[in-house]
Amino acid sequence: MARIVIGGFQHETNTFAPTKADYRAFERGGGFPPLTSGDSLFSAMEGVNIAIAGFIEKARADGHALLPTTWCAAPPSAHVTEETYERIAGAIVEQLKAHLPVDAVYLCLHGAMVTEHFDDGEGELLRRVRDVVGPEIPIVGSLDLHTNGTRLMFDSADALVAFRTYPHVDMAVTGGRAYALMKRLLTGERFAKAFRQLPFLIPLSWQTTFMEPGRTLYERVGALEGGDVLSVSFNAGFPAADIADCGPTVLAYGTESEAVERAADAMVDAIAQAEHDFAGVLHEADDAVAEAIVLSQGADKPVVIADTQDNPGAGGDSNTTGMLRALVAADAQNAALGLLFDPAAAEAAHEAGVGAEITLALGGQSKVPGDAPFEATFTVESLPEGKFTCTGPFYSGARMDLSPMATLRIGGVRVVVGSKKVQMADRMIFRHAGVVPEDAAILVVKSSAHFRADFEPYAHAVLVAESPGPMIADPGKLPWKNLRSGMRVSGGDPLG
């Protein structure tokens, strides 16, 4: 029986976003469990699709003693504040010290954290953990597919394992894969390692494994494993972090150096050959609604429009109003939009009551050019409790608290309003608000790709809209200053 310290610190940082992540953001947690420390970590993760949950399940089955530190995650946003990072990272390190001596450390990480004082939040945390346990104690981490991998992260850990699906339906599975590597390291084995960075950024909406080339590339990841190659990861990167290490990476681990290097090179070659295939159609808001109305005629399933540039899963605040304006202007019928983050509007709806007519300046606090509050009179259709458990593949088992919530109607459009930011990636959010998503003609979801896991199987068509918002869909339009020399958007010219 080994003594394994576990913990996690997750944030996906959009350095161009309007709102920073403070300590309260991690206490709230967004769509994932709130900050938790000690033994409460185990109950918080039970039944949730999170990597640490998969690791716990596999390690406990083998009888190991798991020693908890702290786990937390905040919704994607701008930088993690220095005070917040030091408070949380400091707690993890001090809790680790209190557990010494230990046999191994597992950390549930994201891989794209930028703080006010570090471009590489995960690398710095791993470095501090390594300083505590020394060079011989195994350190294993799980990573998000959107990791912006760094040399410091790679050098500080014995193994790092990333998700293979986007939407991330394999988070808990990835934790299990991390444990499989940990199990070998606990016998005294050490791995040959390979690290590669690619010279282009992949737009977030076209990274999804629901379409090509992502589907085939991630099949290739698994096919490269076997024999002397124990693990291969392709991190597609998070293309909204203005740091030198922004971009895709490949990680490989195994028992024989040449085999590991060959596997890494083969994966890089496959990604490079697919560079020009990371592409799709972006619709202006009005055009997306017009096409959705046409497509929905006679359809027995909804047309889903992704409001990708206000995705709270990528740094948006989920409060822009461009898509709502387009729906109302087009007199869209049987349409619903969610989730719009506006606590003041939700509170006003509760004060007015179901059936009331209220005049609001809804949303529009993003300060993004082209966005503004939407001033209109709405009918309060329902006032859901706001507390429920998600059932879709991505948020599976996540216990949401979005209270107070309200469903507002204007014409043929319903707007689901919440008091916490969460990506519209689960149909249960609509259902809880009184909207039956399968019966709608048009659904607008503030998400880039995670919605696909629970919505696309029930959609007549999916469109991606480029309405004003903080998460620019085309990385070539961002004001980059710190990228590596020669970096480009997939299939395009060098940036900067």
Look at residue 365 and tell me if it is in a domain. Answer: yes
One domain, residues 117 and 207 = yes
Contact 178, 55 (CB under 8 A): yes
One domain, residues 216 and 326 = no
Q: What is the mean pLDDT of residues 305-309?
A: 98
pLDDT band at 185 (very low <50, low <70, confident <90, very high): very high
- Cis ω for the linkage preceding 404 (within 30 of 0): yes
One domain, residues 408 and 267 = no
One domain, residues 267 and 319 = no
One domain, residues 356 and 386 = yes
pLDDT above 70: percentage of residues in the chain: 100
One domain, residues 325 and 265 = no
Look at residue 488 and tell me if it is in a domain. Answer: no
Look at residue 434 and tell me if it is in a domain. Answer: yes
Look at residue 454 and tell me if it is in a domain. Answer: yes
Q: What is the mean pLDDT of residues 150-171?
A: 98
One domain, residues 262 and 316 = no
pLDDT above 90: percentage of residues in the chain: 98
Look at residue 494 and tell me if it is in a domain. Answer: no
pLDDT of residue 496 exceeding 70, the answer is no
One domain, residues 262 and 355 = no
Q: What is the pLDDT of residues 248-302, one digit of tens each?
A: 999 999 999 999 999 999 999 999 999 999 999 999 999 999 999 999 999 999 9
pLDDT of residue 73 exceeding 70, the answer is yes
pLDDT for res 493: 87
Range of the domain at 410: 285-473
Q: What is the mean pLDDT of residues 435-461?
A: 97
Look at residue 64 and tell me if it is in a domain. Answer: yes
One domain, residues 256 and 293 = no
One domain, residues 131 and 273 = yes
One domain, residues 271 and 291 = no
Q: Report strand pairing: 399-401 vs 357-362.
A: unpaired
One domain, residues 430 and 311 = yes
The model's pTM: 0.93
Burial 336-345 (b: 16+ CB within 10 A, else e): bbbbbbbeeb
pLDDT for res 30: 82
Look at residue 220 and tell me if it is in a domain. Answer: yes
pLDDT band at 10 (very low <50, low <70, confident <90, very high): very high
pLDDT of residue 37 exceeding 70, the answer is yes
Q: Which uninterrupted H or E stretch holds 33?
A: none
Look at residue 330 and tell me if it is in a domain. Answer: yes
Q: How many domains does the chain have?
A: 2
User: Which tokens belong to 375?
Assistant: 């001033």
pLDDT for res 31: 84
